[in-house]
C-alpha cells in the first residue's frame, strides 16, 4: 500500500516533465501507475492486508493502513476508472492546452490520495487524505483559472467540503477519545456508547454528506461542472463524491443503530434524490443534467449504505459500482460531444445519433444502466435496493412504505432524465437534418471512444454476470446484520415479485414523465420551495464578511498601542484571576544564589528603566539589548551555554536589524507627538512583568513528580544519539516543533520583504560588476589597495579602512567558527541555529564594512533559494527517516569506518540541522538585502 502511494507521488512529480516531453500522449505512461496498482489490488482481493508504522503513538498519530473487502471495492473504482480517465485525457486535450503538465500531476496525485483515503485505518490519517483530495479538487475544478466561473466553482467546492471536513475532524477526535482508539477497525468492532459518541457521529456525517453533495450541501457539485470533463468523470462520478459514501459504509456495521444515524442519512438522502432529480429534468446543459443526476443517485446510495442491513449493503455496493461505470462513461460522452461539436446544450444538438452511431450506442448503454433497465448492472442494483427496503425490519412498517415510495418517485425521475439525456443529445428533434453544431462535428477517434465504451460494456457484462460480481461484494455486506430475508442474491431474474412490479412502474412512470416534459418545463418556480442554495451560500458569505468587518472595526481601531494594550491586559487579567480562584499551591522562592546574579539583575533593571526615558532611539535600542545580554549571562551562570550562546547571537543580530531600520527614523523621539499618558502604560508593563513572574513561580512550585530535566540527558543520548540535550530536543525529540518554527521564520522573511517593498523580494544584492561605470571609475582612481571589493565603491566620507581590514581578517575565522558550531552542536554547545546566526553575523560584518556591493560579492545567491533549500532539507528528513526504519523526523544512525578518519557515527538529524542552518542564514541575508541593500540603493538614488 505504501508503495502504491509513493508510486503515485513520484508519478505526480514527474508528470509535468513527461507531458512536456510527449505532449498529451504523456497521459499514456502516466496511466500505467494506477493500472499496475490495480493489479496489486486484484492480486490481494479476498485478503486483509495491514500496515503499521509507529510515528507519534502518544498523539494517536501512527500510520495505520488496512486493505479489506470494502477498501478493495473502492480501490478498484479509484484505480480502474482513474486509468481509463487518464487514457481519455490523451485525446480530450490538445498539445497546446495551458498548464497540461500540472493538470496531469494533479490527476495522478488525486488517484493516489483517494487510494490512501480508502485504505486508511487511522482516522487522523484518513482525514489527511480527505483534505488532500479537497485541495486537489479545488485545483482541478479551477484549472481554467482565467474564467470567473471556474474560480467561483473551485472556491465554493473548497469552502463547503472543507467546512464539512473540519466538523468531521472534531467528530473523529471525540469518537477516538471516547473509544480509546483512532483506528476505524477498532471503533467499528467495539463502538463506544453514550451521548458523546452520538454527537461525534453527527459531526462525522456532516463531513461525509458535504463530500458526497447531499442536500443541503449539494450545490457545490453542479457548480463544479466548470471543471474540464475528465475531472467531472473522475472526481464527480467515480471517486471523490464516493468518499462520503465510503465513510458511511465503513462506519455502518458499528453505528447504524446509533440514534442520529438513520434519521439523518435516510431523510437527507431521500430529499437529495427527489430535489436533484427534479432539477435534472429542468437543465439544458448535458453536464448539468448528469451533475444533478449524480446528486440524486448519491442520495440513493447514501440511503442504501446507511440503512445498516446486509441486503441493503449489498445493494448499495452494487449501485456504487454501477454508478461509477455508467456516470463516468456518460461524462466522457458529454466531453466527446463538447469536444467535437463545440456545445453541450441539448437544444443545439439534433441527429447526432445518426452522425456518430458508435457514440450513441455507448451513451445508450450507460444511460440504460442509469435508468435501471435490464440486463445492465444498474437494473440489478435497483432491484436489490427495492427488495432490501421492502424486507427490512429496522425502519418499521409505515417508515418502510414511505421510504420505498420516495425511492420509486426518485427512480421515476431518474428514468425521465435518462431518456431526456439520450434524446436531447442524440435524437432528431423536430429538425429534418443535423443541427449546425452537429453538421460541423469531426468524428471522434476510436481511442477517444475507448474509455467510455469499455465502461459501458462493463456495465452490461457486470449485469449479466451479477452472480459472480456478488462474490466480490458479499465479504463486505456480511459484516452487517442479516435481515429477515438474508438469502437474497444478485441476479437478473428473481421471478415476478414486488420489486419487479415496482420496476415496471418506475419505467412506465419515467417514460410518461418524459412525454409530459413540455408541461413540466413550464413549471419554473420563481421562488423554489426550499430556496436557492447558491443564493443562500452567497448570503452566508456576505453575512460572514459583514460580521468579521464589524468585529474587526470594534477590536482593531488602527492603533498599535491600543491593540497591544488589549492583548497585554488580557494576559494579565485571565491568568491572575485563575491563579487567585483555583490555586492553592504555595510559593517558595530563592531570589538569588550568588551576588553576581543580583548585580546582573540590577544592571538589567537599570537598563530597562533607562530605555523608557531615553529620547535617542539608538541609545534606547542599545539599553534594551543590554537586558538581553544580561539574560544570556544568567543562562551561562546556570549552566546553559547553548541558551547563552543563542541569546548573545540573537541580541547582536537584533541590534543590527534595529540599526538598519532606525536609519529611516529621526534620531530623537519627538515627545510632543507621543500618544496618551505614560503612567498607564508603565503600570501595564509592570503588571505584565509581575504576571509572568507569578506564573513562573507557581509553575515551579506546582511540580509534584520527578522533573523531566533529570531524564533528558540519558534520553538525548539513547534516543537522539547526542550529548547536547538542547540540540537533540530541537532536531529529534521535538523536531516537528522546530519544523513549524523555521517555517514561520521563512514566512516572516517573506513578510518583511513584502511589507517593505509591497511587490517582490529583493533577492540578489548587486555585485561590483553591476555597479554604474561612473562609480567604478571613481573607486579605481581613489585607492590603490583593495581590502574588500565592495568597499571601493563606498563614498570615502563613510568608509572605514580599519573596519575593512578587520573584516578581511576576521570573516574567514567567523565562518569557520560557524561551521564548527554546526558540526559540534549535537554533542557540545552550538547547533544549526547557533551556527546560522554566527554565519549571519559574519555577513552583517561584510555588509557594514563593504556596503551592499560587498554583500553581493559575499553571497551571490538569491536569499529565497537558500530559504527554500533549507526547508526542503529539514522536511525531507521526515521522509528519509521513514525509509531508514525510524519514525518521521527522528534520528537514524549510520556507523562506518573510513581510512585515515577512523570510526564515523553519522546521525540523520545532521541534515535536519543543516536545513535550520541554511534557513537562518537565508533569513539574515533576506533582512540585510531588504532593510539594508535595497534601502541603500534608494538613498543613493535620492542623493544623486
Segment 316-357, tens digit of pLDDT: 999 999 999 999 999 999 999 998 888 888 888 888 888 889
Residue 758 has pLDDT above 60, yes or no: no
Question: Looking at the predicted structure, is the pLDDT value of residue 778 above 60?
Answer: no
Kindly report the backbone phi and psi dihedral angles of residue 328, in degrees, each rounded to the nearest multiple of 5, phi listed first: -60, -40
- The predicted pLDDT at position 523 comes to 55
Helix (H/G/I), strand (E/B), else coil: 183: strand
What is the per-residue pLDDT for 214? 92
pLDDT value of residue 759: 47
Q: Percent of the chain having pLDDT more than 70? A: 90
Q: What is the pLDDT of residue 543?
A: 87
pLDDT of residue 209: 94
Q: Tell me which of 642-646, 757-761, 900-904 is least confident.
A: 757-761
Question: Could you tell me where the DSSP H helices lie in 123-241?
Answer: 123-141, 148-179, 184-189, 195-211, 220-223, 229-234
The whole-number pLDDT of residue 521 equals: 60
Angle at 391 between CA 324 and CA 297, to 5 degrees: 25
- Bridge partners (DSSP) of residue 122 are 183
Q: For residue 484, what is the DSSP state? A: S
Mean pLDDT across the stretch 423-437?
A: 81
Whole-number pLDDT of residue 163? 92
Rounded distance between C-alpha atoms, residue 150 and residue 524, angstroms: 26
Looking at residue 403, its pLDDT comes to 92
Collapsing DSSP to helix, strand or coil, 905 comes out as: strand
Name residue, grid cell 546574579.
597
Euclidean distance between CA atoms 917 and 897, whole angstroms: 27
Q: Contact, 840 vs 653, CB < 8 A? A: yes
Q: Which of 358-362, 523-527, 606-610, 938-942 has the lowest mean pLDDT?
A: 523-527
Tell me how far apart the alpha carbons of residues 478 and 309 are, in angstroms, rounded to a whole number. 9
791/773: higher pLDDT = 791
Residue 156 to residue 62: CA distance in whole angstroms: 33
Confidence (pTM): 0.76
Q: H/E element holding 730?
A: none
In 3D space, the residue among 271, 297, 266, 252 whose CA is nearest the CA of residue 396 turns out to be: 266
Torsion over CA: 66, 72, 77, 83 (sign): positive
Q: Helix, strand, or coil here: 666?
A: coil
Lowest mean pLDDT among 207-211, 399-403, 776-780, 840-844: 776-780
Strands 49-53 and 63-67: antiparallel
* Count helices and strands in the chain by DSSP H and E runs: 39, 4
pLDDT, position 773: 56
Higher pLDDT, 482 or 753: 482
Sign of CA dihedral 111, 116, 117, 119: positive
Residue bearing the bigger pLDDT, 679 or 805: 805
**pLDDT-derived band of residue 936, with 50, 70 and 90 as boundaries?**
low
Please compute the mean of the pLDDT values over residues 72-96 and round it to a whole number: 92
Between 250 and 519, name the one with better pLDDT: 250
C-beta of residue 388 within 8 angstroms of C-beta of residue 314:
yes
For the cut 70, the answer to whether the pLDDT of residue 941 exceeds it is no
Please compute the mean of the pLDDT values over residues 820-842 and round it to a whole number.
87
194 pLDDT band (50/70/90 cuts)?
confident
* Closest by CA position to 451, among listed 87, 39, 28, 79: 87
Residue/partner pairs of 752-755 with CB below 8 Å, 24 or more apart: 752/926, 752/927, 752/930, 752/931, 753/926, 753/930
Instruction: Determine the 3-state secondary structure of 66 from DSSP.
Output: strand
Q: How far apart are CA 356 and CA 422, in angstroms?
A: 13
What does 95-132 look like in DSSP terms, one character per residue? TT-TTHHHHHHHHHHHHHHHHHHHHB-BHHHHHHHHHH
DSSP 164-179: HHHHHHHHHHHHHHHH
3-state secondary structure 559-605: CHHHHHHHHHHHHHHHHHHHHHHHCCCCCCCCCCCCHHHHHHHHHHH
236 falls in which pLDDT band (50, 70, 90)?
Answer: confident
Q: What percent of the chain has pLDDT over 90?
A: 36
Which grid cell sits at 112?
493516489
CA atoms within 13 A on the CB side of 526: 0
Closest CA to 81 of 240, 225, 222: 240
Question: At residue 63, what are phi and psi to the nearest 5 degrees?
Answer: -90, 105
pLDDT of residue 393: 79
Cell of 228: 474540464
**Stretch 713-725: mean pLDDT, rounded?**
82
Question: pLDDT band for position 753 (50/70/90)?
Answer: low
The reported pLDDT for the residue numbered 766 is 64
CA distance 14 to 327: 30
Average pLDDT, the chain: 85
pLDDT tier at 769, thresholds 50, 70, 90: low
- Give residue 768's pLDDT band: very low, low, confident or very high (50, 70, 90): low
pLDDT in tens, 247-294: 999 999 999 889 899 999 999 999 999 999 988 888 888 999 999 999
Q: Write down the pLDDT at residue 772.
A: 60
Mean pLDDT, residues 171-175: 94
| 3-state SS, one letter per residue, for 344-408 | CEHHHCCCHHHHCHHHHHHHHHHHHHHHCCCCCHHHHHHHHHHHHHHHCCCCCHHHHHHHHHHHH
> Taking 50 as the threshold, does the pLDDT of residue 245 lie above it?
yes
CA–CA dist 787, 792 (Å, integer):
8
Q: Which phi and psi (to 5°) does residue 705 adopt? A: -130, 180
Largest Cα–Cα distance in the chain? 109
The pLDDT of 433-461, averaged and rounded, is 89
Axis-axis angle for helices 69-76, 466-477 (nearest 10): 130
- For position 383, what pLDDT does the model report? 93
Q: Is 20 exposed, middle or buried (0-12, 13-18, 19+ CB in 10 A)?
A: exposed
| pLDDT above 70 for 508 | yes
As a whole number, mean pLDDT of residues 8-13 equals: 93
pLDDT digits (tens, 9 = 90+) for 553-590: 777 777 777 788 888 898 888 888 887 777 766 677 77
Amino acid at each position: 500500500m505504501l508503495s502504491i502511494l509513493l508510486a503515485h507521488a513520484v508519478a505526480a512529480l514527474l508528470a509535468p516533465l513527461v507531458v512536456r516531453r510527449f505532449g498529451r500522449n504523456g497521459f499514456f505512461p502516466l496511466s500505467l501507475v494506477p493500472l499496475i496498482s490495480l493489479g496489486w489490488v486484484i492480486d490481494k482481493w479476498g485478503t486483509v492486508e495491514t500496515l503499521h508504522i509507529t510515528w507519534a503513538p502518544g498523539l494517536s498519530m501512527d500510520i495505520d493502513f488496512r486493505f479489506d473487502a470494502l477498501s478493495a471495492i473502492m480501490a478498484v473504482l479509484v484505480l480502474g476508472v482513474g486509468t481509463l480517465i487518464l487514457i481519455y485525457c490523451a485525446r480530450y486535450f490538445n498539445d497546446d492546452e495551458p498548464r497540461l503538465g500540472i493538470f496531469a500531476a494533479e490527476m495522478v496525485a488525486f488517484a493516489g490520495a483517494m487510494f490512501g483515503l480508502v485504505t486508511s485505518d487511522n482516522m487522523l490519517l484518513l482525514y489527511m487524505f480527505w483534505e488532500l483530495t479537497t485541495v486537489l479538487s479545488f485545483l482541478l475544478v479551477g484549472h481554467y483559472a482565467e474564467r470567473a466561473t471556474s474560480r467561483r466553482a473551485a472556491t465554493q467546492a473548497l469552502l463547503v467540503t472543507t467546512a464539512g471536513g473540519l466538523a468531521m475532524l472534531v467528530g473523529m477526535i471525540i469518537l477516538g477519545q471516547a473509544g480509546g482508539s483512532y483506528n476505524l477497525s477498532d471503533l467499528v468492532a467495539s463502538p463506544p456508547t453514550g451521548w458523546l459518541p452520538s454527537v461525534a457521529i453527527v459531526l462525522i456525517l456532516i463531513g461525509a454528506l458535504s463530500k458526497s453533495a447531499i442536500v443541503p450541501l449539494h450545490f457545490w457539485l453542479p457548480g463544479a461542472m466548470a471543471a474540464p470533463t475528465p475531472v467531472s468523470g473522475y472526481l464527480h462520478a467515480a471517486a471523490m463524491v464516493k468518499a462520503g459514501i465510503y465513510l458511511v459504509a465503513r462506519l455502518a456495521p458499528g453505528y447504524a443503530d446509533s440514534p442520529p444515524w438513520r434519521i439523518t442519512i435516510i431523510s437527507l438522502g431521500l430529499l437529495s434524490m427527489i430535489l436533484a432529480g427534479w432539477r435534472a429534468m429542468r437543465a439544458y446543459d448535458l453536464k448539468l443534467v448528469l451533475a444533478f443526476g449524480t446528486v440524486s443517485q448519491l442520495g440513493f446510495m447514501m440511503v442504501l449504505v446507511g440503512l445498516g442491513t446486509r441486503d441493503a449493503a449489498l445493494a448499495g455496493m452494487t449501485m456504487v459500482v454501477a454508478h461509477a461505470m455508467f456516470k463516468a462513461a456518460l461524462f466522457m460522452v458529454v466531453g466527446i460531444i463538447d469536444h467535437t461539436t463545440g456545445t453541450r446544450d441539448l437544444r443545439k444538438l439534433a441527429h447526432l445519433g445518426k452522425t456518430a452511431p458508435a457514440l450513441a450506442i455507448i451513451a445508450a448503454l450507460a444511460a440504460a444502466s442509469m435508468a435501471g433497465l435490464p440486463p445492465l448492472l444498474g437494473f440489478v442494483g435497483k432491484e436489490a435496493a427495492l427488495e432490501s427496503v421492502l424486507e427490512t425490519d429496522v425502519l418499521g412498517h409505515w417508515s418502510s412504505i414511505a421510504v420505498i415510495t420516495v425511492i420509486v418517485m426518485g427512480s421515476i425521475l431518474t428514468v425521465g432524465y435518462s431518456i431526456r439525456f439520450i434524446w436531447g443529445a442524440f435524437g432528431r428533434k423536430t429538425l429534418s437534418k443535423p443541427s449546425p453544431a452537429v453538421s460541423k462535428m469531426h468524428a471522434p477517434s476510436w481511442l477517444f471512444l475507448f474509455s467510455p465504451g469499455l465502461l459501458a460494456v462493463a456495465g452490461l457484462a457486470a449485469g449479466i454476470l451479477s452472480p459472480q460480481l456478488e462474490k466480490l461484494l458479499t465479504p463486505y455486506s456480511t459484516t452487517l446484520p442479516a435481515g429477515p430475508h438474508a438469502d437474497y442474491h444478485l441476479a437478473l431474474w428473481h421471478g415476478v415479485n414486488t420489486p419487479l412490479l415496482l420496476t415496471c412502474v418506475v419505467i412506465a412512470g419515467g417514460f410518461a414523465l418524459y412525454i409530459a416534459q413540455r408541461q413540466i418545463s413550464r413549471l419554473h418556480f420563481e421562488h423554489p420551495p426550499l430556496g436557492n442554495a447558491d443564493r443562500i451560500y452567497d448570503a452566508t458569505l456576505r453575512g460572514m464578511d459583514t460580521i468579521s468587518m464589524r468585529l474587526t472595526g470594534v477590536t482593531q481601531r488602527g492603533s498599535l498601542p491600543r491593540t497591544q494594550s488589549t492583548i497585554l491586559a488580557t494576559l494579565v487579567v485571565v491568568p491572575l484571576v485563575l491563579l487567585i480562584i483555583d490555586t492553592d499551591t504555595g510559593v517558595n522562592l530563592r531570589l538569588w544564589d550568588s551576588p553576581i546574579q543580583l548585580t546582573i539583575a540590577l544592571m538589567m533593571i537599570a537598563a530597562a528603566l533607562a530605555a523608557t526615558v531615553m529620547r535617542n532611539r539608538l541609545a534606547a535600542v542599545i539599553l534594551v539589548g543590554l537586558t538581553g545580554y544580561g539574560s544570556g549571562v544568567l543562562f551561562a551562570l546556570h549552566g546553559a551555554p547553548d541558551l547563552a550562546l543563542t541569546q548573545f547571537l540573537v541580541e547582536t543580530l537584533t541590534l543590527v536589524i534595529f540599526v538598519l531600520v532606525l536609519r529611516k527614523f529621526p534620531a530623537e523621539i519627538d515627545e510632543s507627538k507621543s500618544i496618551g499618558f505614560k503612567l498607564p502604560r508603565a503600570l501595564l508593563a509592570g503588571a505584565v512583568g509581575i504576571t509572568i513572574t507569578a506564573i513562573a513561580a507557581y509553575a515551579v512550585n506546582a511540580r509534584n513528580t520527578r522533573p523531566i530535566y533529570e531524564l533528558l540527558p540519558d534520553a538525548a543520548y539513547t534516543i537522539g544519539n547526542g550529548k547536547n540535550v538542547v540540540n537533540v530536543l530541537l532536531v529529534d525529540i521535538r523536531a516537528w516543533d522546530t519544523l513549524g518554527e523555521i517555517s514561520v521564520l521563512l514566512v516572516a522573511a517573506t513578510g518583511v520583504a513584502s511589507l517593505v517593498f509591497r511587490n517582490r523580494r529583493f533577492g540578489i544584492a548587486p555585485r561590483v560588476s553591476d555597479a554604474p561605470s561612473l562609480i567604478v571609475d571613481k573607486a579605481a582612481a581613489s585607492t590603490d589597495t583593495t581590502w574588500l571589493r565592495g568597499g571601493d565603491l563606498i563614498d570615502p566620507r563613510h568608509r572605514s579602512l580599519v573596519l575593512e581590514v578587520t573584516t578581511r581578517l576576521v570573516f574567514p575565522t567567523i565562518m569557520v567558527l560557524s561551521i564548527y558550531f554546526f558540526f559540534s552542536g549535537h554533542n557540545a554547545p552550538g547547533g544549526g541555529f547557533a551556527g546560522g546566526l554566527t554565519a549571519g553575523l559574519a555577513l552583517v560584518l561584510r555588509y557594514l564594512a563593504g556596503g551592499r556591493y560587498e554583500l553581493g560579492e559575499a553571497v551571490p545567491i538569491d536569499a529565497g533559494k537558500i530559504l527554500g533549500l533549507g526547508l526542503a532539507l529539514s522536511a525531507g528528513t521526515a521522509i528519509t527517516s521513514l525509509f531508514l526504519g525510524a519514525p518521521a523526523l527522528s534520528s537514524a544512525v549510520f556507523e562506518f569506518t573510513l581510512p585515515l578518519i577512523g570510526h564515523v557515527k553519522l546521525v540523520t538529524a545532521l541534515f535536519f540541522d543543516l536545513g535550520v542552518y541554511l534557513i537562518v542564514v537565508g533569513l539574515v541575508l533576506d533582512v540585510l538585502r531588504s532593510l539594508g541593500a535595497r534601502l541603500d540603493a534608494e538613498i543613493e538614488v535620492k542623493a544623486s
